[in-house]
Amino acid sequence: MRRLHVHSHVTDVEASVAYYTRFFGKSPDVLKHDYAKWLLDDPRVNFAISNEAGHEAGIAHLGFQFDDKEDFETFRREPDRAPLDRENENNTVCCYANSDKAWFTDPDNMDWETFFTIAAAETYRGADEQELRMPMTTHRGGAE
């Protein structure tokens, strides 16, 4: 099963957490000083916000969170998606989670993150990563 994922950059995490807590009628499932995530069941949405230096407020990317590793692997290896602009990441830390990912970029540079979460992580991103991997448009230009 999949859950729609929406990640938005915000200017003030604390104010946004207060707003979205009231809006969704529940507290975030994950809450950090620079990040929050709500896992909603109706509709099935993973809605995340973050405050990352250098990013303007607004939608960062869209995507799908997979509940099943095999379903995720089938999706990212589907032959029809093979020619699409794609970047695979395995065992990567981002957004306080360790995940396998495949990023896709549509013709208008909208980034789509597809991922399967392996485990929670203690940091926003891995210590060995110099820049946030999302959205792809911020690190493209000859990269991978």
What pLDDT, on a 0 to 100 scale, did the predictor assign at position 127? Answer: 64
Is 144 part of a structural domain of the chain?
A: no
DSSP 8-class letter at 136: G
Location of structure tokens 């991103």: 125
pLDDT at 84 exceeding the cut of 60: yes
Per-residue model confidence (pLDDT) at position 17: 97
For residue 128, what pLDDT band results from cuts at 50, 70 and 90? low
pLDDT category, 132, cuts 50, 70, 90?
A: very low
pLDDT for 91 beyond 50: yes
Q: Cβ contacts of residue 112 below 8 Å, gap of 6+?
A: 61, 62, 63, 64, 103, 104, 105, 106
Sheet containing strand 2-9, strands side by side:
30-31, 35-41, 44-50, 2-9, 58-66, 111-120, 97-105, 86-94
Q: Which letter, b or e, does each residue of 26-40 get, where b requires 16 or more Cβ atoms within 10 Å of its Cβ?
A: eebeeeeeebbbbee
Q: What is the CATH number of the domain that holds 121?
A: 3.10.180.10
What would the mean pLDDT of 69-98 be, rounded to a whole number? 88
Q: In this predicted structure, which of 24-33, 37-46, 81-90, 110-119 has the lowest mean pLDDT?
A: 81-90
CB 101 within 8 A of CB 92: yes
Q: Does residue 52 contact residue 7 with C-beta atoms inside 8 Å?
A: no
Inside any domain, residue 85: yes
Q: Is residue 143 part of a domain?
A: no
- Is residue 109 a part of any domain in this protein? yes
Q: Is 34:51 a contact under the CB 8 Å cutoff?
A: yes
Domain count, the chain: 1
Is it the case that residue 136 has pLDDT exceeding 80? Answer: no
Mean pLDDT of 16-20: 97
- Residue at 105 is within a domain: yes
Domain assignment present for 119: yes
Average pLDDT, the chain: 86
Domain that holds residue 10: 2-138
pLDDT > 90? residue 144: no
Helices (H), the chain: 13-24, 69-77
Cα distances from 26 to residues 33, 59, 64, 83, in angstroms, run: 18, 21, 21, 40
